[in-house]
Amino acid sequence: MCVCHGSGFHHEHETIKDRAGSLSRRGFMVALVGVSGTALVGCVGGGTGLGLNLVSSEEVEKLGIQSWEQLRAETPASTNTTYQRALRQVGSDIVRAIGQDPAQWEMVVFASKETNAFALPGKKIGVYEGMFAVAEDTNQLAAVVGHEVGHNQAEHSRERLNSAAATSMGQQLLAAALQIGNVGYATEIAGLLGAGIEYGVILPYSRNQELEADSIGLMNMARAGYDPRAAITLWQNMQAAGQRAPEFLSTHPAPDSRIAALEAKMPEALSVYKPRVG
């Protein structure tokens, strides 16, 4: 972690490493929800940030990869080759459209009927099989992937962790998670990073973060050659699914307001949209 001026973070980080192992999982979860609330309440303005820089991008990436590896070990990948191939194709198109190398990203469809998707730092994207019941074609899948890539581009996980690190308890939690060889809290920290629903930890992004990811994602899919209007269709499908999609709706609230924001952004997205050939 980055060092704060004065007596703060560096000194506390050194002392709490010795106490990290004694922090109970229940205590970790209670505190995690608390620091997440701090992060979400603190997200203001057109973006989300508080201007904090207590946790480096490298440290956030380490936590993301740690959570991803544990999730991969505990959650089987889907055996549906059609789903996996579609995610690889759509994901590669979107990543290339933002000027990045698809080989540096890892995108996996997981064998779960949950209607959800998530992004983790370290360029990791997960989509659950249940999402394909709502995302009916590659254009709608591109809306999902573009949105999750948008979370990564905007470093929303880092913003949440920086807000958490502004509290003494948050520093203790992050030190425990970052401690070399300490993976005991990987599933819990995944909640703060954005992938906790697999473990029953529903810590949604803030409204501003979601709207920002929607906006970025809409432009991502349009530049990749996917019809941005499909993003609105996807949300209409979500509304129609109702109780069949509780997981995604619990972490992506207020479909009506988000559809309105997408409609406002649509002219800009359509101006860069050129349909894919082939």
- List the structure tokens of 60: 């956030």
* Angle at the Cα of 234 from the Cα atoms of 232 and 238, rounded to 5 degrees: 115
Q: Is 103 helix (H, G, I), strand (E, B) or coil?
A: helix
Instruction: Quote the CA–CA distance of 252 and 54 in Å, as a whole number.
Output: 27
Active-site hit among 129, 148, 212, 247: 148
Identify whether 159 is a catalytic site residue.
no
Q: List residues bridging with 107 in a β-sheet.
A: 125
End-to-end CA distance of the chain: 46
Residue 22, Ramachandran bin (φ over 0: left; ψ between -120 and 50: alpha; else beta): alpha
Of the CA atoms within 13 Å of residue 185, those in its CB half-sphere come to: 28
The count of other CB atoms within 10 Å of the CB of residue 276 is 14
Q: Please, is 155 exposed, middle or buried when counting C-beta atoms within 10 Å of its C-beta (0-12, 13-18, 19+)?
A: middle
Point out the residues that are catalytic: 148
